[in-house]
Amino acid sequence: MTNPKDPQNMEQVLLDSPKQFIDGIKAASNNSWNPPYPIEKIQWCGMGGSWMAGALLKEANLLTVPLEIHRSYGLPNSVTDKTLVVASSFSGNTEETLSAYDEAKKRGLALIGVASGGSLEEKCKNDGVPFLKIPVNPPTMQPRCGTGYFVGIFAQLLSRLGLAVPDAVNQIESLVAHLETTKDEARKQGEELALQLVSSTPIIYSSIDYRYVARIWKIKINENSKTAAFWNYFPELNHNEMVGWTQPHGAFHVIILRDEKDHPSNLKRMEITSSVLQEKGIRVSMVAIEGGTKLERVFSTLLIGDWLSYRLALELQVDPSPVAMVEDFKKRLK
């Protein structure tokens, strides 16, 4: 039975999330498009939940070419005639992504769209641009909850194009088995941590190797729990942000995502930073990043963050799904 605080049943979406990867792989299996020129770089254009997959494919070391994320209108100056432009929009109606699509089409760049439908699908079909449709289930799913679809779709596509490591799809399939095995523990760990955050502002720290994971934890807390959260990464934060803890104003709880395979100096920085913050009265929790491959470690840790943000929403008496402030802002823009 759906929790009354969760009428759109995000709980079930999280429970089913490992299946998204396989559905994404299947969605791209029949695509035979090839770019008109050799690709030297991928420019991923997306906002909100639609940029995450590109960053995570990069962070998990699955790509064989550089990938940059663009979260604005148009295209960055770094795009060249050897770039593959990915227009990524869960809804298909994101105005910044449509702007990037229009510029890429105007310049005759290698371009591919991915969405669940909307204006992006229409543009691709009218312009003869290859389009990959996200098999969203349920249709009410929030974009931030559908990352697995994007990852599966692009692991399949980029592998065929020689832009991903040869075993990328096999790694995704192994990831699904790993998540199914560990998902109960991830939920337990996330929910236990959520109970400690009810009266605090979460701060998520990681090494530079997991900076996108830390950022997505922060985003999920913002959107699911409807509360402020912040993020940063080692070693950079030791050169500036930590000075801000000299005189902390308010209740904070720092969560450090720690992989024992992180650079030894960063592991040492985490331990010392934890001690310094606790001396200032700041609560600190260490979350161990675990898994065999980098891909497993990335997505196992993300799943903990999903359950943390979901449970925190329920504890704060808010519906985890809608983002009313964003929708109101869009109306004001129009």
Q: List pLDDT tens digits, range 75-126.
A: 999 999 999 999 999 999 999 999 999 999 999 999 999 999 999 999 999 9
Q: Could you tell me if 132 and 126 are in contact, meaning their C-beta atoms sit under 8 angstroms apart?
A: no
Q: What is the DSSP string of 126-182?
A: HHT--EEE---SSTT--GGG-HHHHHHHHHHHHHHTT-B-TTHHHHHHHHHHHHHHH
Give the model's pLDDT for residue 62. 97
For the chain, first and last CA: distance in Å?
38
Give the model's pLDDT for residue 126. 98
| The one catalytic residue among 239, 249, 331, 334 | 239
Q: Confirm whether 223 is a catalytic residue.
A: yes
Give the model's pLDDT for residue 131. 98
| The one catalytic residue among 125, 188, 261, 330 | 330
Give the model's pLDDT for residue 233. 98
Q: Could you tell me if 233 and 210 are in contact, meaning their C-beta atoms sit under 8 angstroms apart?
A: yes
Q: How many CA atoms lie within 13 A of 134 on its CB side?
A: 32
Going by C-alpha positions, the residue among 147, 97, 149 that lies closest to residue 121 is 97
Give the model's pLDDT for residue 2. 74
Q: Could you tell me if 135 and 27 are in contact, meaning their C-beta atoms sit under 8 angstroms apart?
A: yes
| The one catalytic residue among 223, 226, 294, 296 | 223
Number of H helices, E strands in the chain: 11, 9
Write out the two tokens for 31.
Answer: 């695509």
Q: The tokens 């799809």 sit on which residue?
A: 169
Residue 199 is classified by DSSP as T
CA distance 237 to 199: 24
Give tens-digit pLDDT for 161-204.
Answer: 999 999 999 999 999 999 999 999 999 999 999 999 999 999 99
Q: How many CA atoms lie within 13 A of 316 on its CB side?
A: 25
Give the model's pLDDT for residue 334. 82
CATH superfamily of 10-166: Glucose-6-phosphate isomerase like protein; domain 1 (3.40.50.10490)
Helix (H) or strand (E) holding 203: strand 201-207
Q: Confirm whether 263 is a catalytic residue.
A: no
Instruction: Name the CA dihedral angle for 205, 78, 114, 141, rounded to a multiple of 10 degrees.
Output: 30
The segments of the chain whose pLDDT lies below 70 read 1
CATH 3.40.50.10490 in the chain is located at 10-166, 181-315
CATH number of the domain located at residue range(s) 181-315 in this protein: 3.40.50.10490
Q: Confirm whether 253 is a catalytic residue.
A: no
Q: Which alpha helices (H) appear in 231-323, and where do they start and end?
A: 264-279, 294-315
Residue 130 CB contacts under 8 Å (≥ 6 apart), including other chains = 31, 33, 111, 112, 113, 124
